[in-house]
Chains A and B, each alone.
Chain A
């Protein structure tokens, strides 16, 4: 049977988003910046999509810009906030477990960057973060929840302690799945994670936040993102987000129960395993575990042979052969790592089947490595 269980990379297109995409391919292909009929129709669709996304986020439409993907949104969120706030200070404070896109932005930043550590659950040390942010920070970045282990970060607690520091919040795995933090200055998201199509990121800049585009000048998307926006994909992304937000509470309860089942079953049926992340204060749809004496790549391949798609933070599965910086920061085992992430189309039968085959698959790849 098998199942696609890598929603955190890309969820399957939500049926509502698919329908909207097909319609918008016919009605929204023109350049929305043009004044003839086809351009105006595209602009109307884009305006409506922006209003929908703004409403789902709890933002004003003019605070919302669309980017080509979540990485671009996150990079622009960080670099634009840093560039506009150099008079506050020149330090960029971020958690050690941010998405690699944000860490790469921190490398480009010309001032010092301070990476604040996390506990074994992957939750940032609030006292250390606040102390660093108070010490001449141009901007600070905290993800709403961790993309690898699902642990929710104390964004509002940090925002309350340093209300004057511009706060960049990566909401990528949260949008459409769980409530957003109340406080943020600049927020980034990605449509693929909520069942929208590939090719749409969301960048929100709160009114009153100092932010300057890191790109050459362009008047598109409120001057924040250059180039003609992908209107059909944006329309589909907005429709998908509205559908996800409408079902959010019920869907979160449904998926969270399945994640609880995975956490319990993996710990009980797989020897020498650690289930990672906060078991309670976590995203409803992401769970990660690491197994001793297991090659992550062999495990992914063996699961794929049985039709199960999952991802891994193990070094052997990354292009750089470096282990996941998230797992390293947590002090977790990096080898034999599997992230399972659920979505609107995930069924209880799929999870039952996954949990039924998993112990045998792990035993099989362990037996292989015993011969190495």
Chain B
């Protein structure tokens, strides 16, 4: 699953992530495409606080940072 959080200021990207992590089964991933500079640190912190895995960072086709999170429970 991919979430388009372009233009959404923190903490909205982690709020979107929290709303949708339950939409995938355990072991699957949600990728958050977010351009707020605080999104990266906040998604990593959210994974630590919520017990999910921060599975990596990449770039969307337009260059927007994309953060992949694996649902662990």
Contacts and interface: CB of A to CB of B under 8 A. Distances in A.
Interface of A: 272, 274, 290, 292-295, 314-316, 321-323, 327-328, 331-336, 369-370, 372
Contact of A335 (B18, B42, B44, B48): B42
Nearest to B36: A315
A316 B46 contact: no
Nearest to A321: B37
Contacts of A331: 41, 44-45, 48
A6 B43 CA distance: 28
B14 A327 contact: no
A333 B9 CA distance: 14
A322 B49 contact: no
A316 B9 contact: yes
B27 interface: no
A316 B41 CA distance: 14
B72 interface: no
A292 B49 contact: yes
B3 interface: no
A35 B25 CA distance: 82
A370 B12 CA distance: 9
A295 B10 CA distance: 7
Contact of B10 (A272, A274, A316, A370): A316
A290 B14 CA distance: 14
23 contacts: A290-B45, A292-B14, A292-B46, A292-B49, A293-B11, A293-B14, A293-B15, A294-B11, A295-B9, A295-B10, A315-B38, A316-B9, A321-B9, A322-B38, A323-B37, A327-B41, A331-B44, A332-B45, A333-B42, A333-B45, A334-B38, A336-B11, A370-B15
B40 to A, nearest CB: 8
A272 B51 CA distance: 13
Contacts of B14: 292-293, 335
B49 to A, nearest CB: 7
A293 B18 contact: yes
B11 A323 contact: no
A98 B7 CA distance: 30
A40 to B, nearest CB: 54
B38 A369 contact: no
A55 B26 CA distance: 62
A292 B11 contact: yes
Contacts of B10: 295, 314-316, 323, 334-335
A299 to B, nearest CB: 11
A369 B18 CA distance: 13
Nearest to B19: A370
A333 B44 CA distance: 8
A103 to B, nearest CB: 16
A323 B12 contact: no
Contacts of A274: 45, 49
A315 B8 CA distance: 13
A369 B49 contact: no
A2 B41 CA distance: 32
Contacts of A323: 10, 37-38, 41-42
Closest 7 CB pairs of A and B: A335-B11, A333-B45, A323-B38, A315-B38, A335-B10, A328-B41, A334-B38
A297 to B, nearest CB: 9
A369 B37 contact: no
A63 to B, nearest CB: 40
A334 B9 contact: no
Contacts of A315: 9-10, 36-38
A267 B36 CA distance: 28
Contacts of B18: 292-293
B67 to A, nearest CB: 14
A372 B15 contact: yes
